[in-house]
Amino acid sequence: MPPKKHPRSARKEQPHDAVFKTFFSDAKIARNYLLYYTLPAIHRRIDFSFFRKSDSAFISGRFGVSFCDVVYETRLTNGAPARLLFLFEHKSYVPAHPIHLQLLDYLLQIWEDDMKNKRSLSFVIPIVVYHGEQTWKQKPFSDYFQNLPEEWQAFIPNFHYLLTDLSQVPQQTIQDKRESEFLRNLFLALKMARDREMIRKNWKKIFTFGVHYEQDDRERILLQSLTLYLVHLFDMAQSEVKNLSKDLPETERSWIDSIPEIFGERWKKAGYRAGRRKGRQEGRQEGRQEGRQEGLRKKPGISL
């Protein structure tokens, strides 16, 4: 039997997934997430001199539309030989089923990959970044099993996952994490992604990359991906983007203005459609005017 799809449209989730994957595929941003959004007991044990994105892809559709977007490999500061992978799972809605089922599916795929490649089993920390409207209620997997004798709890595959619920992180807290670099810009955009007016009001905060902005291809890709995300999410017109961006620092504004074909083609079509509508309106007005003149010419005793 094929897996049931989540009632939400997969297409509607794609913009969120794409921008999340673009940012978290950047090792500096993933590292900054660990430094600024996890407890010292987690990030102080990591040897960041060995921290790289894994080439392995683990995708699960068994429990709905989902993506295991980004996996990183690292090691512990004590030099332990275990591979340490961070599984980033982005969500924009509270799933209908226990998230443990989906994460367990990923864990099994990772361990299967270890066995195929004759490696020791990897230690995995699953991380969920959530920016939906409802508060995410994190609870142990055992809570989903009711009325079990205490002695039976040992048979439940309990494991924990780290959660960042952006709906519960104050905007000012995100803004104050200046050293988190461009992660701050992404989290502001994700937090406000369901409120067009909040995006408009905070456009300068979202798109000012600040002193870390080095004006290279990495920053260009991140800035333009963030712009594309919001433009497609809210179906924004070129004039609206230009108006919102006029107060940005010159470098950020110039990068947004230079966003290539994907914007140009979209806005070109919009302009073409607007031009056709205007042409049809003008044609109808001109036709009505000519019709009135022709009618007057045909009336007896009236000359034009």
Question: What is the band of 7 on the pLDDT scale with cuts at 50, 70, 90?
Answer: very low
pLDDT at residue 130, as a whole number: 92
Q: Please give the Cα distance from 22 to 14 (Å, whole number).
A: 12
Q: Using the 8-state DSSP alphabet, how is residue 8 labeled?
A: S
Could you please report the per-residue DSSP string of 125-167?
EEEEEE--SSPP----GGGGS-S--GGGGGGS-----EEEEGG
For range 75-90, the mean pLDDT:
80
**Beta partners for 123?**
84
With beta carbons less than 8 A apart as the criterion, state whether 75 and 47 touch.
yes
Range with the poorest average pLDDT among 64-68, 92-96, 152-156: 64-68
Q: What is the pLDDT of residue 43?
A: 93
Three-state secondary structure call for residue 52: strand
pLDDT at 299 over 50: yes
Residue 291 to residue 137: CA distance in whole angstroms: 68
Q: Which two tokens stand for residue 245?
A: 């961006």
What is residue 301's DSSP assignment?
T
Candidates 241, 238, 165; CA nearest to 206 is 241
DSSP assignments along 122-133, one per residue = PEEEEEEEE--S
Dihedrals φ, ψ of 74, to 5°?
-155, -165
Contact yes or no for 82/120 (Cβ under 8 A): yes
Q: Residue 258 — pLDDT band, cuts 50, 70, 90?
A: confident
Mean pLDDT of 171-191: 93
Domain ranges across the chain: 10-194
Q: For the chain, what percent of residues have pLDDT higher than 90?
A: 40
Which of residues 224 and 282 earns the better pLDDT score? 224
Model confidence pLDDT, tens digit, residues 231-248: 989 989 888 998 999 999
CA 7/CA 14 separation, integer angstroms: 15
Q: Residues 110-120: what's their mean pLDDT?
A: 91
pTM, 2 dp: 0.79
Tell me the pLDDT band of 55, cut-offs 50, 70 and 90.
Answer: confident
